[in-house]
Structure 1
């Protein structure tokens, strides 16, 4: 089994090292980052927002305001999603992984403990968690195929010189590990099969291969959680359905929510993203002249619609992050935005 895995990984790494780079995702993420910076200057900020966009590369982890390296470790419960009652874990039903945007079929308490924020995702064939904090940054992803893992964009900083993979065992299961230099440290990639029909990968900074494997072994596949955001979308375009859920949780007991996104699409490959982010009390909303149900929205450039529904700024990404939907479709979706009553209780979302 490892021989096939080794060859597939080596081919993938070689192809990525010498292949052409698609500029579209890079431009989209850069533009999104620019919008974030402009909002920060206007006062739009939620603690740890930089971690909310998984596409941004982060090389240095800073201690957040109000915390010191000597502070008590934030418990994993601060980043835990609500339990998905009656839903099996990935080991019991591998075929369910990535198929339901409302369910994450693994748990990672031992990984996220001590983090500042954790971003959970489910849907479109992938389930993942990415976290960052004073002690490090890592991403774990679970899928039903290697191709799905190969399609993930790298989100942790490295030198871009991946080394050849070597055979490893994770929890007694076969896999491979390789590293990419990253300054004074190494970015390790550990890929393995927790069960037949499942592929898992952990990207993390570690001193040695054994350290990286030890971290990978902390993930559990006998549990299921609900991917939840503090809002609903009650108006979808014809044929539209929910494709993906993403939520970033912080370490605040009073307001754990940082941001959340829902991706809506249809069978023709069209999709758009609606994202809500917390705002500060000093943020002044700009008036909009577009009607979105009971709300007023405005254009933010040619491909983003924005409105303020306390306590969040809500955006609909029509291009770059989406494909094929018109402005009128985005206004329909935003018109159906319904916020939760309590942003401090994920179990009620």
Structure 2
């Protein structure tokens, strides 16, 4: 491409020296050059956008679509938990799995990157992620004992008539896999169960076309790193003797923001517990109609077991029964009074 308009103008003027100048060739050349510059500006702008996205820690990845012909951008990092640089992965400290609601001791970046929704959970003996959307749907659970893992309820749909397990190897570790036809999917539900390290048990439930595909997916889960299980709020007032037991956060790509909902479970040694859940409000937050107060907030009742308040942009609830047991309404008001939003609701690194 040439940018020598000045030289062309000079040559044209010299050729017409002493004569009347016809402006038509000059105007045509200027217009042509302007069109070329605009085309290149669009190209360079597009290249700059791609470069900037690549620099932003890989926030946009380019992955092949199901046909393998075009390349489709996906927000690969939006559904992942923030890093926890001061924590070690399950491979180094297996005894910590499920003990700290603030830490997930594994990563599943390659698997989750193709999804549109992901729910991460940590605490009360297990750590897990369930993700779906696009061409993938799966759930991974990690526990310290086989009994704890066996007690985790299945969430993906199947016929309930699994075939007998067969032996497999996941990253050279022994395990087993079995198949259960799915009534709602053309792909069967595969279960892969193995010990990624001594002292830990893992299970991947995934819709896949074959045992090899399922075991290959399991091999992509890593246990040498940790992430923070975080929600965009803190609980600064808990009932006497209570502590945080579990964290759960649901992230999504096809909504008004990345955060969909998050929950914290608190309880004590006597077996009492309650759940506080914040959901992104789809519309203008409702005004409370009851006269209850919790710290700076007005609170309304949902029946006799749930308290609710609006803290924009979220609706916040505390469950005393069903998702809780043993605590009273005054306890719930104490907890809601200490509710405090944290950081940017759609930037998990600020929570």
Q: TM-score, normalised by structure 2?
A: 0.77
Deviation at 1:114, TM superposition (A): 2.0
Alignment equivalent of 1:345, drawn from 332, 339, 347: 347
Structure 2, unmatched stretches of 5+, are 1-66
Q: How many residues align?
A: 281
Which structure has the higher relative contact order (CA within 8 Å, separation 6+)? 1
Deviation at 1:290, TM superposition (A): 1.5
- 2:323 corresponds in structure 1 to 321
CA deviations over 1:109-157 (Å, ceiling 9, x no partner): 1111121111111111101111111212110111111111111111111
CA distance in 2, matches of 1:115, 1:338: 30
In the alignment, is the contact (CA less than 8 A) between 1:165 and 1:176 conserved in 2? yes
- 2:292 corresponds in structure 1 to 290
- 1:270 corresponds in structure 2 to 272
Alignment equivalent of 1:200, drawn from 199, 202, 205: 202
- 1:242 corresponds in structure 2 to 244
Q: Larger radius of gyration, structure 1 or 2?
A: 2
- 2:165 corresponds in structure 1 to 165
> Cα RMSD (Å) of the superposition?
1.8
> SS at 1:131's partner residue?
strand
CA deviations over 1:265-300 (Å, ceiling 9, x no partner): 001111100000001244534423212111111111
In the alignment, is the contact (CA less than 8 A) between 1:74 and 1:115 conserved in 2? no
CA distance in 1, matches of 2:338, 2:182: 44
CA distance in 2, matches of 1:185, 1:281: 37
CA distance in 2, matches of 1:222, 1:288: 50
What are the within-5 Å matches in structure 2 for residues 30-45 of structure 1? none
CA deviations over 1:237-276 (Å, ceiling 9, x no partner): 0100000001111226983211100000001111100000
In the alignment, is the contact (CA less than 8 A) between 2:190 and 2:206 conserved in 1? yes
> SS at 2:181's partner residue?
strand
Q: TM-score, normalised by structure 1?
A: 0.77
CA distance in 1, matches of 2:182, 2:288: 42
In the alignment, is the contact (CA less than 8 A) between 1:253 and 1:344 conserved in 2? no
Structure 1, unmatched stretches of 5+, are 1-68
CA distance in 1, matches of 2:285, 2:87: 40
CA distance in 2, matches of 1:301, 1:136: 38
Deviation at 1:71, TM superposition (A): 8.9
